[in-house]
Chains A and B, each alone.
Chain A
Amino acid sequence: RKEVEQDPGPFNVPEGATVAFNCTYSNSASQSFFWYRQDCRKEPKLLMSVYSSGNEDGRFTAQLNRASQYISLLIRDSKLSDSATYLCVVSYTGRRALTFGSGTRLQVQP
């Protein structure tokens, strides 16, 4: 079983739609959680950290459920520029390296 699992998609949605991505992690020692965005043939870029209380940044909302070892990302009012692969990322206590999910591809269509 992969340490971080994501639905690979692709999710094809029209502009303005709301889309949700889910992620599960298997290691309960996971301490920090992030969503990264990766454009084709580019490096990943941090989108947002994920906190237990949930957090929002503009059109993006992230949620963490430690009991279920589940992380989500909600994108409202999708833009064409949101088309990318979204990576669920965790880090473990005492280990600075990041563990990446395989990513969920989003394609926003006009």
Chain B
Amino acid sequence: GAVVSQHPSRVICKSGTSVKIECRSLDFQATTMFWYRQFPKQSLMLMATSNEGSKATYEQGVEKDKFLINHASLTLSTLTVTSAHPEDSSFYICSAGEQGATYEQYFGPGTRLTVT
């Protein structure tokens, strides 16, 4: 089956620093990738839809200047959390859909961010 990787799997950073998370589709091309965030004991919430070669579409309430998304190729999307604060500590998960596929998505293993 299709594989999506994320890097790093876990990161601890100090308040005010920026953190970049990578999401890669390893064996397929993904024109669209999605970034979700999950707080403890809550569900996954969509943050943004990342489109290859164009600007990301952000969900209401998600600051696009704080969560920078870049989707420069068909296999890589990055999420940069700028000026991180402790309230940004969360589990960030990306997913990718194959070109031409409708709703099936493949999830990365997630990145656990802790901001101290």
Contacts and interface: CB of A to CB of B under 8 A. Distances in A.
A32 to B, nearest CB: 5
A87 B43 contact: yes
B46 A99 contact: yes
Interface majority SS (helix, strand, loop, mixed), chain B: strand
B107 A45 contact: yes
A102 interface: yes
A42 B43 contact: no
B64 interface: no
B102 A96 contact: yes
Nearest to B34: A97
B43 A102 contact: yes
A57 interface: no
Contacts of B104: 46
Contact of B110 (A42, A97, A101): A42
Interface in B25-62: 32, 34, 36, 42-46, 49
A96 B91 contact: no
A9 B107 CA distance: 25
Interface in A86-110: 87, 91, 96-103
Contacts of B45: 100
A105 to B, nearest CB: 9
Say which size band chain B's interface belongs to.
20 to 34
A106 to B, nearest CB: 15
A103 B39 CA distance: 13
Nearest to A102: B43
Interface in B82-116: 91, 93, 95, 97, 102-105, 107-110, 112
Nearest to A105: B41
Interface in A51-110: 87, 91, 96-103
- Name the residue among B42, B44, B91, B104 with the largest chain A CB count within 10 angstroms: B44
Contact of A96 (B103, B109, B110, B112): B103
B32 A96 contact: yes
B107 A44 contact: yes
A41 B104 CA distance: 22
